[in-house]
Every structure is written in structure tokens, then in C-alpha cells.
Amino acid sequence: MSDPRTTPSIFTRGAVDLSALRSPAPAKPAAPSRPADTDGEPTGGVPGTLPGLSPETIIDVTETNFQSTVLERSLTTPVILDFWADWCGPCKQLSPILEKLAVEGQGAWVLGKVDVDANPRLAQVFRVQGIPMVLAVIGGQPVEGFTGVLPEVQVKQYIDAVLKAAGVNSGAAPVEDPRLDAADDALMVGDLDAAEAAYKKILAESPADAAAEAGLAQVELYRRIGGEDPASVLARAAADPDDIEAQRLAADVEVLSGQAADAYARLVALVKRTSGEDREAVRKHLLSLFSVAGPDDPAVAGARRALASALF
């Protein structure tokens, strides 16, 4: 994933023409993409939408309201667009992560949900070739994003980078640490050796630095999964539930696919079925995955309780 703080946007000025979207798209008869159920509520719409949210936090973006909800709003508040479709399985993994972070952002940025089936012109203008696809709009201009599902910690990194690029304070921001910025930048461009050295240096100087610990755990996770085919990894694990290495690697794949809770459950179940050195190896692997997410992740808290129950 590229960092918009340091990487030139793929959307160079003029390359993406948003001017056509500054006025409503011509009306055309079409079946609604989110039909109402018997209670009058929409169905088949934004996957995982949290109830009772302010429209200022998460909004449905259409060709008709694009000017007001995205272009005009982005002049004062960054808008992060989530291109999705109801039939898209990975979208249902990423959308809840984005929506959770939007709520936690408390208005520092706005999440715009774009149903590509209902808004093909938006998908065409933004050159959507695969979904889920995420990008930001700052000051009326698009900023590079990512395609596919990422773990929550990396989605947070992207959002933080967008806010920094927009000059927005996301709240009580911690004091800037140039050492951590350099380590994160190395991780984002895939220089695992440089990232590892930088995170280790921080931990040598500040052993309790949770961000550096999480970063180092990410480096180790990328190294373990490098060159592996996710589908093959999961198939091997399904074929042999007692293959320790296959199960650990499958958990890595699940974390990188945005299915951390499934990864934790997989390894907790393996702890219950193992003993001795095998159990200890699985336990340590699970703790390393906890480090990737960070201690405040609610899924980690639940998995820690499950692990304690499995051990004792």
C-alpha cells in the first residue's frame, strides 16, 4: 500500500476529470439497488452499516449527490470513498473496518460508500478495476488508495496518512515520532529489512512502544506469508487440521485478509488440541498476531480470554 504522504498520487492533475460529476447525472429509469423490505427499510445495501450513524460520518454517495457529499465536503473535510457491491464478499470484510474507524474518527473524516452497480459512472471516472477499492478526496482532488482487503491496522495507517496530507488533526494526536514515521514508511514501501531495523531500534530505546511492537509484528507476518498462495494455504489447513505449521500459516492469511477473529479462533482451537512444545509454539504465534492488531482491538480482548480458558 502506498502512503499518500510520500507517494505521488496516481491521479495526477487532469488525469481524472471530476468536472462532469459537478452536476447531477441525467435521470434514467432504473430499479432501485437497495429495495425496501416489508418494514420499509432498505435491504441489500451497504454491507455492515452500523445503525444510528450520523450522515456526517458515513454517507451513501451517488452520481446525483457527488458534488455536495464529496467534492464540496472535501474542501473542508477529507472524504474516503469505499467502492463496493452487494455481491462482493471481500467488500463485506473491509466495509465494517472502515465504518468502525469512521465512527471512531468522530467527524475528522467522512466515509463515502459507493455502490458500483448503482453508480457505474462513478466507477468509470475513478477507474475502478476491482473491488473493494478505497481512495480519498482532499480539496476536491483524488488521492491514491488501495484495492482489496487490508488488516485494520493498515487501514488505520492509510487513514492517518490521509488526515496528515489534509492537515487534519484526528483528535488528541500523539507527539510525532520521526523514528516511527521512518519505520512505517519503510514498511509501506515493502522494505522489510529497513522496517525491521527501525522498529528494533525504537524498541531498544523504548521497550514499551506499542506502535513499534505492532510494526515489528507486521514485518514478521509479511515475511512468513511472502510468496504463499492464500487459497492454497487455506486448503492445506482445511485438509489437515492438526498440521501445526499449516494452521499457523492459515491464521496469517486470515489476518491479512481482514479475518483476524477467524485467525484467533483457529489458533485457540489448536491450543486446545495440542500440548507441550506444539502448544507453546501455537500460543506464541497467536500472541504475535495480537501484536499486529494492538492491545485496544476488541477482537484481541475476546481472543485473549478464550486463550486463557484454553490454557487453564
User: Closest Cα to residue 290, out of 152, 131, 163?
Assistant: 152
91 is catalytic: yes
Which alpha helices (H) appear in the chain, and where do they start and end?
66, 89-105, 120-125, 152-166, 178-188, 192-205, 210-225, 230-239, 244-256, 260-273, 276-293, 298-311
CA distance 295 to 272: 23
* Distances from the Cα of 311 to the Cα of 27, 266, 272, 280, 304, angstroms: 61, 15, 7, 10, 11
For residues 143 and 9, is the Cβ–Cβ distance under 8 A? yes
Burial of 176 (0-12, 13-18, 19+ CB in 10 A): exposed
Q: Count other Cβ atoms within 10 Å, centred on residue 143.
A: 24
167 is catalytic: no
Catalytic residue among 88, 123, 165, 233: 88
Task: List, in order, residues 6 or more apart from 279 with CB less than 8 Å away.
Answer: 271
For residues 144 and 7, is the Cβ–Cβ distance under 8 A? yes
Catalytic residue among 91, 97, 162, 183: 91
CA distance 261 to 223: 21
* Distances from the Cα of 106 to the Cα of 27, 49, 109, 172, angstroms: 34, 16, 8, 12
Question: In the numeric block, which cell numbers belong to residue 105?
Answer: 474518527
* Distances from the Cα of 144 to the Cα of 13, 149, 233, angstroms: 12, 16, 30
User: Closest Cα to residue 236, out of 227, 245, 226, 223?
Assistant: 245
Residues annotated catalytic, as ranges: 88, 91
